[in-house]
């Protein structure tokens, strides 16, 4: 697969061949959905916690005698049917939402997402990200010069790039990440993927092994 290569001014400077085994994979929505849901589950924390009848404080004395009052029989004011009582089958903080994902399945889903971006012209490769200064206004100017208009961007750098991070940290529409750290959720959360030639090569090197 061939993609165009641009400079920081948004002008086309050449082409780059991408591996079909990474950027030309047949897309199976069910695989992507499986991995996406698993990643969401693995980020989930079981904050909610309730107490059962045996854990609620008080209720040691029987509210009233068993018979003779004309009222229904009750043994404790901490019964689940009483206000302030225990909760039946309520959520517990010990619940584990973690979902196992096979490494090959996770990498396959990531390749499918990248292939979708590449086939829909939403993967843009640049020569480099060597800006003259680490200024946010320069990056905003760079976004206005892109080949097409988009609302959100995933910027992938080969390794940590402090200058790019500094330029984009105040831009809500831009998420900057290292190539080796991205997952399916990152790619799907943004409409366009931006990287440079070194980043594309690093993606190919990492994903072609699986």
The rounded percent of the chain whose pLDDT value lies above 90 is 83
Tokens of 42: 């693995």
Instruction: Give CA–CA dist 111/21, Å, rounded.
Output: 8
* 26-61: pLDDT as tens digits: 999 999 999 999 999 999 998 999 999 999 998 788
* 147-164: pLDDT as tens digits: 888 899 999 999 888 999
Q: What is the pLDDT of residue 210?
A: 55
Query: What's the half-sphere exposure (Cβ side, CA atoms, 13 Å) at 41?
Result: 13
Q: Which residues pair with 61 in a beta bridge?
A: none
Q: Which residues pair with 5 in a beta bridge?
A: 14, 125
Do 3 and 123 touch, CB atoms closer than 8 A? yes
Q: Helix crossing, 29-43 with 103-119: angle to 10°? A: 120
Domains and CATH numbers, the chain: 2-44+97-207 (3.40.1370.10), 46-95 (no CATH)
Helices and strands counted in the chain (H then E): 7, 6
- Which among 200, 103, 201, 190 has a CA at the least distance from the CA of 152? 190
Instruction: Give CA–CA dist 152/193, Å, rounded.
Output: 9
Given a cut of 70, is residue 197 above it in pLDDT? yes
Residue carrying the six token digits 């609620």:
56
Read off the pLDDT band of 10 (50, 70, 90): confident
Per-residue HEC secondary structure of 96-146 comes to: CCCCCCCHHHHHHHHHHHHHHHHHCCCEEEECCCCCCCCCHHHHHHHHHCC
Instruction: Give CA–CA dist 122/119, Å, rounded.
Output: 8
């Amino acid at each position: 697969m061939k993609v165009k290569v641009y400079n920081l001014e948004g002008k086309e400077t050449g082409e780059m061949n991408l591996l079909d085994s990474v950027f030309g994979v047949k897309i199976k929505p069910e695989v992507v959905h499986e991995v996406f849901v698993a990643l969401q589950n693995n980020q989930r924390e079981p904050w909610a916690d309730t107490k059962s009848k045996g854990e609620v404080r008080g209720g040691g004395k029987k509210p009233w005698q068993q018979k003779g009052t004309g009222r229904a029989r009750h043994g404790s004011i901490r019964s689940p049917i009483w206000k302030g009582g225990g909760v039946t089958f309520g959520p517990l903080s010990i619940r584990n939402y973690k979902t196992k994902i096979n490494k090959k399945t996770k990498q396959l889903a990531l390749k499918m997402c990248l292939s979708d971006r590449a086939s829909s012209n939403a993967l843009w490769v640049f020569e480099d990200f060597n800006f003259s200064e680490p200024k946010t206004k320069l990056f905003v100017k760079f976004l206005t010069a892109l080949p097409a208009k988009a609302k959100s961007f995933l910027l992938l750098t080969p390794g940590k790039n402090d200058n790019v991070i500094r330029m984009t940290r105040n831009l809500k529409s831009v998420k900057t990440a290292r190539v080796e750290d991205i997952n399916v959720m990152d790619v799907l959360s943004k409409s366009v993927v931006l990287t440079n030639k070194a980043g594309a090569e690093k993606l190919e090197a990492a994903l072609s092994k699986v």
